[in-house]
């Protein structure tokens, strides 16, 4: 069965999915937060139709594919597949992915680009292929391959959303409106995470939450000559620095707001120590020569990217490029703040604490706002059932040659936190293909095609194990 499964998955990936991903990557369907005029531009609709049509054409018994769009919301694709083989129609597996993308970002190689699909050896370059355009194709193929090779699965629901990169603001409304169609899944499969190497199936045990918004500081109604005003009129950049010092220690990056910290569960500390001993992550990032991580200890590095809050300034407005900068004291500065939150942190309380800290008692009476504020929950996985751990190891050995491993991930998938609250008895398998160097959200993002094939095979094996457990 394994050889036939491998042959089926590899053939469809090479003949059907890779060409479809070329077309998908070429669509600049950035998420709603970065393209408020997404409807007028039409890119999201093009991506939805591409994925809908590809999935609807697959040879899967009983497959239905629908596009749902609530007023004022980005669309979702909902697919339903009845149970197959010995699987129960009264049990449900929910497979999740998203099709919206991060913005372009600068720094791409001269021969690459965000909307320019390039297959270079085993790597398919371009924005969104690995995060997370491949998920819909791989999820549907795993079901197709299971059926074609005499395996079983319970009733399956595939949900592909279009606002995840904006924090999934539209998803709660769909979870409510489609609740009867989704049912009560006992297993959730998600392909939107990463891996620490490409030699095994990696399963994510926790995800950070997110709190974000735009800090804007204005001190003048218009720019003035810096020689005339500096020393009297404070720089808005310095005011921003002073305000950020309320929430972050600028020396070591430590977050100063207590609502953003949590107690780390002992099992997650143990897991971090075990993983760091074999897979130190400090060398995974493209540091310039001579640079070094914020913390030296490999265990603390893993905890810092999974269980500690961390602030990034991901965008700036009000500052001209260096080549066109004049001797002007600028009227305002805006920073886009992105705060990663520990998995079990109350994201709403964290956002409230951040907003209060940056807006209360503004220095010099400056006009300070925190706009477009939004947050999403983190997630901490329930313990794996015995059957699931055995299935993960079986799938990993069959597809990669090594048992599976688990680790905490530093990114956010708000959907998992929402589902964890809705379905506390469900088992979760959060995995993905974003290995070292894959660079999701950054320049030169790529999908490692052999890893995607192997993960797809793992999904089919886990579906069968779930149905026959």
CB distance 16 to 57 below 8 Å: no
pLDDT of 415 reads 81
Strands (E), 222-366: 224-225, 310-317, 328-329, 332-341
Cis? peptide before 445, omega within 30° of 0: no
CB distance 279 to 299 below 8 Å: no
What are φ and ψ of residue 156, in 5° steps? -120, 140
Question: Would you say the C-alpha torsion 227, 231, 232, 234 has a positive or negative sign?
Answer: positive
CB distance 314 to 298 below 8 Å: no
CB distance 359 to 340 below 8 Å: no
CB distance 243 to 358 below 8 Å: yes
Give buried/exposed letters for 117-147 (b at 16+ CB in 10 A, else e). Answer: bbbeeebbbbbbbbbbbbbbbbbbbbbbbbb
What are φ and ψ of residue 365, in 5° steps? 70, 20
The pair of structure tokens assigned to 416 is 């998992």
Instruction: Give the global pTM.
Output: 0.87
The pair of structure tokens assigned to 290 is 């001579």
Q: What is the pLDDT along the chain (469 residues), one digit of tens a residue?
A: 579 999 999 999 999 999 999 999 999 999 999 999 999 999 999 999 999 999 999 999 999 999 999 999 999 999 999 999 999 999 999 999 999 999 999 999 999 999 999 999 999 999 999 999 999 999 999 999 999 999 999 999 999 999 999 989 999 999 999 999 999 999 999 999 999 999 999 999 999 999 999 999 999 999 999 999 999 999 999 999 999 999 999 999 999 999 999 999 999 999 899 898 888 888 888 899 999 999 999 999 999 999 999 999 999 999 999 999 999 999 999 999 999 999 999 999 999 999 999 999 999 999 999 999 999 999 999 999 999 999 999 999 999 999 999 999 998 888 888 888 889 999 999 999 999 999 999 999 999 999 999 999 999 999 999 999 9
CA–CA gap between residue 152 and residue 143 (Å, rounded):
9
CA–CA gap between residue 86 and residue 468 (Å, rounded):
7
Domains of the chain: 2-207+378-468 (3.40.630.10), 209-262+307-376 (3.30.70.360)
CB distance 125 to 188 below 8 Å: no
List of residues 6+ apart from 238 with CB closer than 8 A = none
pLDDT of 1 reads 58
């Amino acid at each position: 069965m394994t050889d036939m499964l491998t042959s089926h998955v590899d053939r469809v990936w090479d003949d059907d999915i890779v060409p479809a991903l070329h077309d998908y990557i070429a669509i600049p369907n950035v998420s709603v937060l970065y393209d408020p005029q997404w409807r007028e531009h039409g890119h999201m609709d093009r991506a939805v139709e591409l994925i809908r049509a590809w999935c609807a054409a697959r040879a899967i018994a009983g497959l239905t594919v629908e596009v749902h769009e609530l007023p004022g919301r980005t669309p979702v694709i909902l697919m339903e597949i009845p149970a197959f083989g010995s699987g129960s129609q009264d049990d449900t597996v929910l497979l999740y992915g998203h099709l919206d993308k991060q913005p372009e970002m600068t720094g791409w190689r001269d021969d690459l680009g965000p909307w320019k699909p390039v297959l270079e050896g085993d790597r398919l370059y371009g924005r969104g292929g690995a995060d997370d355009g491949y998920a819909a194709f791989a999820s549907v193929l795993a079901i197709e391959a299971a059926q074609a090779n005499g395996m079983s699965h319970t009733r399956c629901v595939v949900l592909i959303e279009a606002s995840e990169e904006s924090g999934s603001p539209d998803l709660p409304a769909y979870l409510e409106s489609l609740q009867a169609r989704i049912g009560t899944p006992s297993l959730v499969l998600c392909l939107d995470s990463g891996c620490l190497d490409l030699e095994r199936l990696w399963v994510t045990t926790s995800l950070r939450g997110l709190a974000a918004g735009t800090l804007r500081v204005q001190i003048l109604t218009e720019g003035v000559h810096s020689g005339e005003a500096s020393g009297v009129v404070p720089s808005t950049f310095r005011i921003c620095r002073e305000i950020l010092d309320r929430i972050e220690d600028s020396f070591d990056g430590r977050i100063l707001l207590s609502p953003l910290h949590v107690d780390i569960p002992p099992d997650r500390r143990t897991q971090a120590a075990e993983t760091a001993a074999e897979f130190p992550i400090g060398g995974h990032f493209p540091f310039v020569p001579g640079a070094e991580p914020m913390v030296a200890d490999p265990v603390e590095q893993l905890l810092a990217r999974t269980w500690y809050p961390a602030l990034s300034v991901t965008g700036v407005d009000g500052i001209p490029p260096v080549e066109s900068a004049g001797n002007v004291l600028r009227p305002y500065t805006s920073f886009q703040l992105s705060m990663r939150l520990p998995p079990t942190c109350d994201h709403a309380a964290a956002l409230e604490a951040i907003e209060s800290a940056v807006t209360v008692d503004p220095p010099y009476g400056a006009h300070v706002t925190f706009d477009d504020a939004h947050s999403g929950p983190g997630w901490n996985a329930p313990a794996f059932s015995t059957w699931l751990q055995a299935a993960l190891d079986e799938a990993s050995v069959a597809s990669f040659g090594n048992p599976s491993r688990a680790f905490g991930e530093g990114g956010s998938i708000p959907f998992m936190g929402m589902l964890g609250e809705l379905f506390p008895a469900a088992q979760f398998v959060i995995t993905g293909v974003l290995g070292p160097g894959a660079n999701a959200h950054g320049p030169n993002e790529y999908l490692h095609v052999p890893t995607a094939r192997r993960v797809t095979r793992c999904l089919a094996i886990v579906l069968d194990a779930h149905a026959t457990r």
